[in-house]
């Protein structure tokens, strides 16, 4: 099993996790891959979507959660949106 690497944008910036929970809530992703502290809340009409976003260039990526040892979900970067 390879070591976890925090998801990065093509520009090299660490990505943040955005979840629409009746509003968009943005979270840092910790170096160990788990959800960190909340950094932003935006109003939204959508609910139930989530993605990774670059705070620098605003590129958006699909997110993939994987169960990794020791049985913790970690964020992985998917395809660019």
pLDDT digits (tens, 9 = 90+) for 61-80: 988 877 666 667 788 888 88
pLDDT one-digit tens code per residue, 14-58: 998 887 766 777 888 898 888 888 887 766 555 457 888 999 998
Q: Is the pLDDT of residue 11 over 60?
A: yes
Q: What is the pLDDT of residue 13?
A: 95
Q: Is the dihedral of CA 51, 41, 73, 6 positive or negative?
A: positive
User: Which sequence spans correspond to the domains of the chain?
Assistant: 16-80
Q: CA 27, CA 41: separation in Å to the nearest integer?
A: 9
């Amino acid at each position: 099993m390879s070591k976890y690497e925090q998801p990065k944008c093509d520009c090299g910036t660490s990505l943040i996790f955005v979840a629409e929970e009746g509003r968009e809530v943005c979270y840092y992703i910790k170096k160990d891959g788990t959800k960190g502290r909340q950094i932003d809340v935006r109003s939204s009409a959508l609910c139930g979507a989530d993605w990774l976003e670059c705070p620098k260039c605003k590129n958006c990526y699909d997110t993939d959660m994987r169960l990794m040892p020791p049985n913790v979900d970690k964020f992985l970067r998917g395809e660019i949106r």
